[in-house]
A and B are shown apart, each in its own frame.
Chain A
Amino acid sequence: MAEMILFYALAALLLLSAGLVVTVRNIFHAALYLALALFAVAALYVMLGAYFLAAMQVLIYIGAVVVLAIFVINLTRTVTGAPVTLTRRWVIPAALVSALTASLIIVALLKSAGPAGAAPDGAADPAVQGSAAANAAAQGTAAALGRHLLGDFVLPFELVSVLLLSALIAAIVIVGKDREEEK
Chain B
Amino acid sequence: MTLTLTHYLVLAALLFCLGVYGAITRKNAIGILMALELVFNAVNLTLVAAGRFRPQSDGVGQLFALFVIAAAAAESVLGLAIILAIYRRRVVVNADEMDLMKN
Residues of chain A having any CB pair with chain B under 8 Å: 1, 3-4, 7, 11, 14-15, 18-19, 21-23, 27, 30-31, 34, 37-38, 41, 44-45, 48-50, 52-53, 56-57, 60-61, 64-65, 68-69, 71-73, 75-76, 78-80, 131-133, 135-136, 138-140, 144-145, 148-149, 153, 156, 160, 163-164, 166-168, 170-171, 174-175, 177-178
Question: B31 contacts which chain A residues (CB < 8 A)?
Answer: 22, 27, 30
Partner of A44 from the list B8, B25, B83, B85 (CB cut-off 8 Å) is: B8
* Cβ-based interface call for B71 (8 A): yes
B36-90 interface (Cβ within 8 A of A): 37-38, 41, 44-45, 48-49, 51-52, 55, 58-60, 62-63, 65-67, 69-78, 80-85, 87-89
Question: B75 contacts which chain A residues (CB < 8 A)?
Answer: 167
Residues of chain B having any CB pair with chain A under 8 Å: 1-3, 7-8, 11, 14-15, 18-19, 21-22, 25-26, 28, 30-31, 33-35, 37-38, 41, 44-45, 48-49, 51-52, 55, 58-60, 62-63, 65-67, 69-78, 80-85, 87-89, 91-94
